[in-house]
Amino acid sequence: MKVGIVGAGFVGAAAGYAMVLRNSCREIVFIDANKDKAEAEASDIQHATPVSHPVLVTAGNYEDLKGSKVIVVTAGVNQRPGENRLDLIGRNIDVFNSIIPQITAVEPDAVILIATNPVDLLTTVTERIANVRPGQVIGSGTTLDTARFRALVAEYVGIDAHHVHGYVVGEHGDSEVVAWSSATVAGISIAEYCAAMDIPWTQQIQNKITENIRSAAYSIIKGKGATYYGIGAVLANITERIVRDQRAILTVSGSNAQYPVALSLPRVVGGKGIIAEIGLSMNDEERKMLQSSAQVLSTALSKVQ
């Protein structure tokens, strides 16, 4: 199964590399305005296949996206130190107005997976530009934030992150909501688990983890200029769920009848993209925060429409 990656920068290259290491697909084609960069990344990643998985990695033009099951869009300008994700919208809408029509003209049936920030707003923009069926456009949304949530809780309580379950929803950004009220470790609440294991658990500890989730990108960008390994692995994970029609529950970004813009909620993701949206148990405070997060996104979008 073929996967296209539009944008051969840090995130696109990391996603392609992760797909090779995870054996997410059979073929990857990179597209970038800088053709030399796309060809160099494709060659470098291809050289990893003899010691990982037999994935064909090439660079090409938009016409080479034909036959792709998933097209991952990472093209656009990067977040600078001191910027939040919403600051990027004006600069990246122009990019999307150029590339999305070229994608749909070549492969109108592909699931389009958006990773470029601000991902929620650009998911909304892509839905409007592409004019494809509901669920065919997906934003990576808070899948990375959810992974960070699980990783940080697992680190604190000292277990494998696969046994931590919980979601970050809303904006992939400063207004995102950590749904602590429904988070569990081994099927019980985090507080119950900590009590059983004689591990301290206070509101201050919970607040610190929340802050670390929200500030992770800023800290990484300050230290090395960009984030790409984490999101690259997440994009590979989402891609293979679609390619293999695995019906995974992921906090991807998409439209919702209740909110005026795309945002992240737990959704069933499979071969056709977003297949269904499921509910999430939240307390009253978390529900209010989710409404506020939707309003933040709506306000930001209204400024560029």
Active-site residues, by number, are 172
Minimal CA–CA distance to 76: which of 128, 12, 145? 12
Minimal CA–CA distance to 76: which of 119, 116, 104? 116
Is residue 194 a contact partner of residue 201, using CB atoms and an 8 Å limit? yes
What are the tokens at 208? 């610190």
Minimal CA–CA distance to 121: which of 89, 74, 73, 91? 89
What are the tokens at 259? 């909110």
Longest Cα separation, the chain? 59
Rounded Cα distance, 106 and 118, in Å = 25
Minimal CA–CA distance to 179: which of 190, 193, 187? 190
Look up residue 79 and give its DSSP letter. P
Residue 136 φ then ψ, to 5°: -80, -20
Rounded Cα distance, 104 and 113, in Å = 13
Rounded Cα distance, 177 and 184, in Å = 16
